[in-house]
Structure 1
Amino acid sequence: MLQIQNQVFKGSSESKNSEGQRERISKLLSCAICKEKSYNPLTLHCLHSLCKECFEGNVREQLPDVCDLNSDVLLFCPLCDYQSSCDISSYLQRNIGAYLAAPQAIKALLDIELGLDSPICLSCKNKGKTTSSLFWCFDCVNHFCEECFDFHSTLPVLDKHKTYSLAELKKDPDVVTKAREICAEHGLRFTKFCSERECVCCDGCLSSDHIDVCKGEHKKIQEEIISKLINPKVTELQESLRNMIQNLDSKEKELADVENKTEEFFKEEQMKADEKSNNLRKRLLESSDSILVESYKVPFYKLQEMESTNAVWKQQKSVLENAIYLLSALKGGSDLRYFLELKKIKQVLKQAGTILDDCEKGGKTTFSVLFEKSLDTFADLDSFGKITEIQYMSNEENSAFGSIDDSFDKLQSRDSKGNLPSMQAEKSFFFGEHLFRLSKSIDLENGKSHVTGCDWMSENEIVIVDQKVKGSPDFCVYNTENGKLKSRIPLDQKPYDISVLPNNQCAITFPKEEEVRVYSLIDYSVQRELDVDIKCYGVCHCFHPQGGITMVAGEDNIIFYDKNFSETKCLTVDGEDIRYICAYNNNLIFYSDIKTNTVYSVIGNGDNRFEYTDDDSIKGAAGLIIDESKNVYVCEKGEDCIHVLNKSGDFIRKIEVGQNPTSISLSRSKTKICIIRGGRHTLNVAEIYTL
């Protein structure tokens, strides 16, 4: 060990004027937590150091969690996350340094930096002054200025201490290293290496701490023993780094594969879109050519007719001119001849007027026929009225994006000022293959309500149960058209969930009392009370002609009741704290567990179909509903979205609906959805989405 320290010391002494090496030594001697230099550092197994204060603080954080004093505390290095273990009993005996890697090489480097390059009087430093050191005491292992050295020399108890001047210290730097190799517990030199505890020890350590405890061998401190202590740690770090690089390479390959598949997908879709666009353009051009041909034919024939009419008109004009000339010539003749010629002229004028009138009507008819012919040609085309063929993906292939016809109609509609509407401001989502849009937002009592359940009483009425943060709990009926409160029924206990039943009844759960009450929705009186013997939270009803089945869930149980509210069976299922339940039928059931943030699905005998859980994705699984495709929509109470899962429990997408969605219900006609948002001490809102 001395050889290693001397080599490190000499190598550093030779390059002490190198600024780069001095900076590296400074970093090595700094505490990994507070970044301050420590003259007596505690070195971890990864060879990073901590000052005494940070080290003890790191250990104290873990002591309350450890009951066995013979167990070890794991210290995580803040620089490399390597774990160093130390014995708790040794820490309590203030001998924690014995179970960490030997810090002699580190201390030797500290002496190189502080002891030789820039010596400072440590006595003056403790007084808040900075004074250069001129002397060094081997026994005290401290630097002194001239004034403090004189005081040190006058004390009789320190008279036998070996002291050196700075010049003498630089001539023999091994003195510093030797002084640092003294056991802090017994004041003796380190002479042995304990193979079991992997630490250096003195003769006092052997006789007091090691002789009856350690079963390992104690050998002389040699260079190869230190290598055995350090090399495995270095090898372990190298292996960890190698595994990390391999994982990064694997992730990089996976990312490259995803990018390639994504690029291929978009290229393929672009080719399909280009092909359909070219086909449509071709059909439009062909149709345009046909329209132009038909359009030119009509005026061509009409122009021919007009030219023929013009020829007749010119002929009549010539006859009129001759008649006028003849009439002028006959003014001087007999009256009978004048009368007869005038009669002929009137007949000619009448005939000419008819011709002119026909010519005028013929011109209008030409353009009228041209327009009608063009319109008929357009109407017969297959392209117009069916232009949705240009969609890159059909509605069945990508129902989440909606119909292009719907989007086109929306863009064509304008407000009273002629402005196009903002499609981003509208809250909507796809439920199955249908788009539901937010039509009404009903504010409940701000800061006082805590609504946990809702259901549809009719197509324009919802019922909610309100635990209330302040005041007495109740359940209420709201009109979803005008958003006004219709009825408020006080309750003597806090409810949790509600489900509307046939025959104008509803079931409300009371977890604390472990009971379900059936209320009339006509006079709101209690019709029946059921003791369920579990903390019941969720309740739902499956409608069918025979009267349906009511299911109540809580803890890890699901109880079935028939139309007469007689218990038919009780299932024990996976889960710890079931809160909400919904069912497609009596053999396909979904429920959410708020304690484990899990969504489960079981069949009628309680066998598990799937469980969906992901601590990074869903926080507070709450209310559920099911669409016609058996996809389940789960409120994420801790966030602002709804998770959509298929009937096999695979994640499909997220729907952002606003902060803290808790309960959700679907109307009997499946055209309206109610989502309850909020929580304790916040505004509770009932948002109504319509098809």
Structure 2
Amino acid sequence: MASNWSLCGVCDNRHISNPSEVWCSECEEGLCGDCKEHHGVSKGTKHHETVSIVDYKKLPTEILQIAQMCDKHNSKYEFFCKKHDCVCCKCCLKYHKSYKGVTDINKVTKNVKTSNAFHEIDQSLLEAVVNIKRISSNREENLTSLANQKREIEEEIQQTRTKINNHLDKLQNDLMKELMATEQNESSKIRKLLTTLKQKEEKVAKYQTNLANINKFASELHTFLSIKHIQNDMAIEDKFIQSLFKSDTTDQVNISCTINKSLQQITASIQKFGEINVSSELCKMSIQIQKHKQAQLKVALPTRNIDNQEITDRVQKVEDMNVSSTRCDLAIKKQNDRQPQIMVTLPTRNINKLTLKIQKCFNTGLSEIRGCSLLPDRRMVFSCYQQKEIKVFKSGGTSDFEIKTIDRTFDVAFIDNDSIASTSAESDKINIIDIRNRKLKKPIQVNSGNYGIVYKDGNLICCSRKNGLNMISLKDESMFNIHNIELPPNAYVTTFADKLIYTKGNNNSVICCDYHGYILWTFRDTSVLIYPRGISVDNGGNVFVVGYATHNVVVISADGQRCRQLVSRRTAGLIDPTVLHYDQRTNTLLVATSKGDAFLYHVT
């Protein structure tokens, strides 16, 4: 485009300033009225197309800036090469003359505005506008629905809180009424006795007065007869007083209150008011695509849902709202026919693709290892039942330190950078051990011995010998029973999200339940797993468990439906494995045997 399209180019070359009326794209200059007439009849330019300057101004800047001259040779474009899809000047032609697809550019540009290519581009632009508006409208509707769902969830949360408050208020009022009635009843009994005693006291006082008067004024006969009468009456009063001591009427009456354990343990049993669940439901939104006008595009729209149950008879029935969220990457793939397809990628971990690479194998020198754990600094902790000690090894497999004479230690669980917890099947306490100062930090008193243990969110979850799965708060050491069942010796437990998974070696099963004790699934397959003991989970919820009698390590899918043997006696020389621990931070698996052998694997 000329630098000054407002002036006539021909006149400007003659140093005359005349405003241009039309623009010639081929000459790339404006023309005034006189020059326009000459341009229109001149033999060399009469076939040039011109456009008025007013209309020319309407063209976008990026269109006006498209060069119509070859930037290499400063020559006019005269040819089009179909092979290279480019325009050429005469000088460029020598690079393309060997190709048959070189055409005069006038033939290519003839009727281009009415060509199919122009029409297709025009249609594509229209379709793009329509599709963008439809998608924008759909997303705006989703925003509105999210806002409405948020408001509904807030109302539901508030209603739940109100129900809880009302229920607790009712329980409190009932207890206060019971307290008042009890106090009034017991006080009434005491006041009634006090009234009787007052009457007895007045009667005895009267006898005292009469006896004094008799002593002063009565004759000997009257005195003798009066004494007999008073003695008979006092015998009755003495009998009454003695009867009071023989009955419970003189017992010290106290009133006290035992607060419901569910209320006392509510901070331990209910860790969250609820959780927000993000789910997706498929919707059909039609978009226009050239040649396939009504291709259907399925788009996942996020919705939110809260799962909750009403409070009825028991306080602990304020249920956690269950979470199941899966993030997916959504991509639209266009094939050659331009029909869109949906490509969905879910972050799942297929147990059939898991591979274990041995990193280290060493003997700990311990016997009857019942627990193991990997620390953040890659050190390894083992608990030895037979030798009553906990031993820590460096990442290289050499001994770091040991703590002895605690108890017959069973399982261990890492709590934080300074502490681990240790159970004992023969002691009614859980020991908290300071691994930095290498000493016993404190014992937590419980109601029975314990087998397996796992740490989660400030709580310890244990396999109790007495009443199944218990949760102990490290904050106040309160205890809450999650699942009151009979567990066999050597039962272990682990946790993932809102689920607990534990082993029952006596019936060769691995069981998954929620934090209310409801069974979600049970795995049992004696062809691959006999006498399961130590158990752990990876980042995707896949369950790793040792088979003590089958001498192997098995992985079970997160839904409990599939399994696969990873390590066996034949492939790795694994004999009598007892425990394992999966470190989710490093994808490392530690396996230990009753003979003291330790195997460290990297899982991919």
Where on the TM-score scale, by shorter chain, does this alignment land: which range?
A: 0.3 to 0.5
Q: TM-score, normalised by structure 1?
A: 0.35
* Larger Rg belongs to: 1
The structure richer in strand per residue is: 2
Higher-helix-fraction structure: 1
TM-score, length basis structure 2: 0.40
